[in-house]
Each structure stands twice: as structure tokens, then as C-alpha cells.
Chain A
Amino acid sequence: MNEHQIQSALAEIADETDVTVKHLELASLCSALFSERGVELVVVGGSAIEFYTEGAYTSGDVDLCVMASCEPLTVRLRQEIMGRLSATGGPRSWEVAGAYIDILGSFENLARTQVRTIAAPFGDVKVSPVEELIVERVLVSKYPQDYPPALDCAKKILAAALEGEVEVDWNEVKRLANENAYANWADVKALTNEQAKTLQVRGPFDSDERAD
């Protein structure tokens, strides 16, 4: 992207008052600039959930991780790239166009399904696989203690998945939930079945229920 294109994108993002669109556009612009330097970013956590669900969850920051990189993503390189966006701060969190961007380090991901891609205005935005977000939020909602905000997130992601608004590999959800890293299959199955009942749709684990 040339300087004119970057300035034009930044002006558009700064003027945007819809918080979800603003964050997605900002992730799009950052992803494009990092990609030019051989660094692939992925949206994680609450920001990812927001893009999948419109769940009115995020605050004023977008969380990204490094999915792949041709060269080490040094502090110098991060500051150089973010400098092109007239960003302030660093070395892992910057203020840009009226929002915060956090680049948190390497992407931790056990899912075998692909990251999802949103073809946003300034470049593709990669989003953490929904299967792992489901399993992770269910875990955080119960351990180390009950945490209602995570439970609400888990319910909203499951609802979007059950309604077919987000395509999900339910076998992968089950596999991840049975992994030692999560070991929460009973909780995932119970919450999925509960949401399916609320939405009056057939649950993906109905046959498991009969088999148990």
C-alpha cells in the first residue's frame, strides 16, 4: 500500500463510529501492512468473537496474534510498520485512528480447521477458528470459577453456529474438547444441547446423547 492509500484508509477508520466495523477495518489495514513484510496476523479472543457474533462484547481494542512470519517480528519491525499508520505507543499495543491495536505474540491454536477469512476493505482479515473459540470460552466460563461474561460469549458463538450463521466442524469441536488441553467435553456438549433446545434446532451432538 502506498502512503496515500494508507492515509485514506486511516481517515475512513477514524470517521467510523460503528465499533465492530471500525475494528474490522483496522484489523484489515494492519493485516495488509504486516503481510507486505511477510507477517501474517490473526484476530483472536473477544475481537474474533465479535466478528462471528455481533455480540456487543468488545471494548476499544482489537487483539491480534502472529500466525506466520518470514522473518522474526522484532520490536523494530513492529514499530516501523505501525509508524506507517501514525500509531502511538508500542511495543505491543498502539493507539491508531481512535482505537487500540494489540499484537500479542504467537498464535496458540490446536484446531485442525482453518482460520476463517473476511475479505475486508483494505485486505483479508484472518480470524481464529470458531471451533477452538467455542471450547475455550466454555472452559473459561467454568474454570477456575464461574465467569458469566465468558458463558454469555460461549452461548452467542454456539447460537451463531447452530443457526448456520458460522460454518462449524462439530467433530473438531468434540475432538478439541476431548484434548487434554481442554478436557471439557461434558460441559461443551451440555451447553451446545441447551442452546439447541433454546433455539429449537437439532443439536449436532444429539446422536452422541443417545449413544452415551
Chain B
Amino acid sequence: MNKPKLSRSGVPSIPMNEPISWEDWLKGRRARRETGNKVAPEIIRRPSSSSDQRLRKLFNGQRGLPFKKTEEL
């Protein structure tokens, strides 16, 4: 893999024509979350969907596992 292009905040960009390494994808997680938080609410998981029954059964009444906090990414 070539040296990754960097975003404005300096994290590896997910490239168009080559794979992003696992390490580089992990490095960009916090920046991607923080960028999204500037334009929309932090958690945008839908409150319900057609899969509710199976999801709530598996996740103790929730629709999935909780998201990791931004500061822990």
C-alpha cells in the first residue's frame, strides 16, 4: 500500500483506488466521528425499523450494541 493521503485534520483518507489498511482505518475513526458531529446529531440510529423484533430480542430491548464514545475512539 502507498503512503495514505491525509484528510484536513491529518488522518488517513479512505482512498478511492487502493485498500486502506486496518491500522489507518482505525486511526481515522475519531476524526470521522467528530466531523459528522459538526453537521448532525452524534447518534443517528433509527428508533425503529422492520427488524425491531429480532434486534430487541438479541440486544436486551435495544436495537444494537451501544456505540463507543467519541473520546474512546
| Residues of chain A at the chain B interface (Cβ within 8 Å) | 17-20, 22, 51-61, 93, 95, 98-100, 113-114, 116-121, 124, 130, 149, 151-153, 155-156, 158-160, 163-169, 195, 198-199, 201
Q: Which residue of B lies closest to A157 (CB)?
A: B36
Task: Report which of A59, A95, A155, A167 forms a contact with B64, defined as CB distance below 8 A.
Answer: A59
Give the contacting residue for A160; candidates B15, B32, B58; CB below 8 A.
B32
Closest residue of chain A to B34 (Cβ to Cβ) is A54
B17-63 CB contacts (< 8 Å) to partner A: 17-22, 25, 28-33, 35-36, 38-46, 49, 51, 54-55, 58-59, 62-63
A119 and B11 contact, CB distance less than 8 A: no
CA of A114 to CA of B42, assembled, Å = 29
Tell me whether A118 and B19 are in contact (CB under 8 A). yes
Indicate if the CB atoms of A159 and B13 lie closer than 8 Å.
no
User: Which residues of B pack against A, CB within 8 Å?
Assistant: 1, 5-9, 11, 13-22, 25, 28-33, 35-36, 38-46, 49, 51, 54-55, 58-59, 62-68, 73
Q: How far is B22's CA from A152's CA once the two chains are assembled, in angstroms?
A: 26
Contact between A166 and B13 (Cβ–Cβ < 8 Å)? yes
Asked, given contacts A52-B14, A59-B64, A121-B22, whether A159 binds B49 with beta carbons under 8 Å apart, the answer is no
Tally inter-chain residue pairs, CB-CB below 8 A: 153
DSSP majority for the A interface? mixed
Contacts of B11 in A (CB 8 A): 165
Q: Is the CB of B67 within 8 A of A19?
A: yes
- Please state if B42 and A56 are interface contacts (CB–CB under 8 Å): yes
> A22-B65, A116-B16 are known contacts. Are A56 and B46 too (CB-CB below 8 A)?
no
Interchain CB contact under 8 A, B7 and A149? no
Evaluate whether A163 and B7 lie within 8 angstroms (CB atoms) in the complex, with A19-B65, A20-B67, A61-B55 already known: yes
Contact of B59 among A60, A151, A152, A165 (CB under 8 A): A60
Complex interface: chain A residues within 8 A of B19 (CB): 117-119, 124
Q: How far is the CA of A18 from the CA of B72 in the complex (A)?
A: 10
